[in-house]
Structure 1
Amino acid sequence: MPEHLELMFFKMWRRGGEAILLCVCYRPQWKSREPLLFLHANLDALMQQHSCKQVIVLGDMNQHLVTRTFNELLSDYGLTNHVDFPTHTSGSSLDPVLTDLPTSVVTCRPTGSVGSSDHLALLTIIKLAVDREEGISSTNCLWRQAD
């Protein structure tokens, strides 16, 4: 990945060994569409390299300035933007949450301003089954209470 791109990738494991690739992206408004082009060209390879079946891409993308490239990423990868409300004080939505997970498991909502930022903070809840360890059965003998 080119060093000048502001992208971070995380692998999140699910039950059964499946994984989700999480990409956090910042595309400043004065930058080109290069971060989105990088994702478009490399997302399949990244998912395959890290054995991920699904993807979540989120961050401050200022996608209103690169609408065509943004929409191509959505359509080519079957992604849904779960943010359908303004995330900026101007009334624009600049902070998408894109995923190929079913819409029934993803919920996004604004939580308000944080500090001096002109963006609203987002709360995104993704309802995934959590692996639970099996309980261990044990016998505790209370020797002091025995005859």
Structure 2
Amino acid sequence: MDRHLEMMFFRLWTSRHETILLCVCYRPQWQGNDPMYFLHSKIDTLLLQHNCNHLIVVGDMNQHLVARQFEDLLTEYGLNNHVNFPTYISGYSLDPVITDLPEEVITCLPLGMVGSSDHSAVLTTISTTVVRDEATARVN
């Protein structure tokens, strides 16, 4: 990854022993298409390299400035943006939560402005079911 890209990657494990690759990304307004190009060209490699079943990308992506590349990324990889509310003081949504997880397992809610930030925090909840052992009858 180029040194000027501001991204962190994490591998999350679900209760069903699936793995999710979480990418936290900051795409400054001046950075152009480099972060979108990196994601677009490396998603498959990253998922395979880290043995992940799903992908979540979150962060301040200023995607309105690279709208076409952002939409191409969503379309090509079957991703959905689950943030459908403004996250920036001006009314724009600049902080997406994009993933290939089914819509029924992910919820995004605005939490309001935090500190001196001009962005609203986004609470993202992923619902996973707990794997339970079958009940065993006991004899006393």
TM-score with structure 1 setting the length: 0.87
| Cα distance change on mapping 1:84 and 1:39 into 2, 3 Å | same
- Structure 2 unmatched runs, 5+: 135-140
> Could you say which residue in structure 2 is the equivalent of 1:45?
45
Corresponding letter in the other structure for 1:75? T
**Per-residue deviation at 1:31?**
1.0
Corresponding letter in the other structure for 1:95? D
- Structure 1 unmatched runs, 5+: 135-147
Over 6 Å off, 4+ runs: none
Asked if 1 retains the 8 angstrom alpha-carbon contact of 2:16 and 2:130, the reply is no
Measured in 2, the distance between the counterparts of 1:11 and 1:46 equals 11
Measured in 2, the distance between the counterparts of 1:124 and 1:109 equals 7
Task: Report sequence identity in percent.
Answer: 60
TM-score with structure 2 setting the length: 0.91
Tell me the SS of whatever aligns to 2:43: helix
**Further displaced range: 9-18 or 98-107:** 9-18
Asked if 1 retains the 8 angstrom alpha-carbon contact of 2:81 and 2:98, the reply is yes
> Could you say which residue in structure 2 is the equivalent of 1:123?
123
Asked if 1 retains the 8 angstrom alpha-carbon contact of 2:16 and 2:129, the reply is no
What is the root-mean-square deviation in Å for CA atoms of aligned residues? 1.7
> Could you say which residue in structure 2 is the equivalent of 1:64?
64
Measured in 1, the distance between the counterparts of 2:18 and 2:130 equals 12
Q: Deviations over 1:83-116 (max 9, x none)?
A: 0110001000000000000000111010111111
> Could you say which residue in structure 2 is the equivalent of 1:79?
79
Corresponding letter in the other structure for 1:44? D
Measured in 2, the distance between the counterparts of 1:27 and 1:118 equals 16
In the alignment of these two chains, the number of paired residues is 135
**Larger gyration radius, structure 1 or structure 2:** 1
Measured in 1, the distance between the counterparts of 2:131 and 2:9 equals 22
Corresponding letter in the other structure for 1:98? I
Measured in 1, the distance between the counterparts of 2:103 and 2:7 equals 24
> Could you say which residue in structure 1 is the equivalent of 2:138?
none
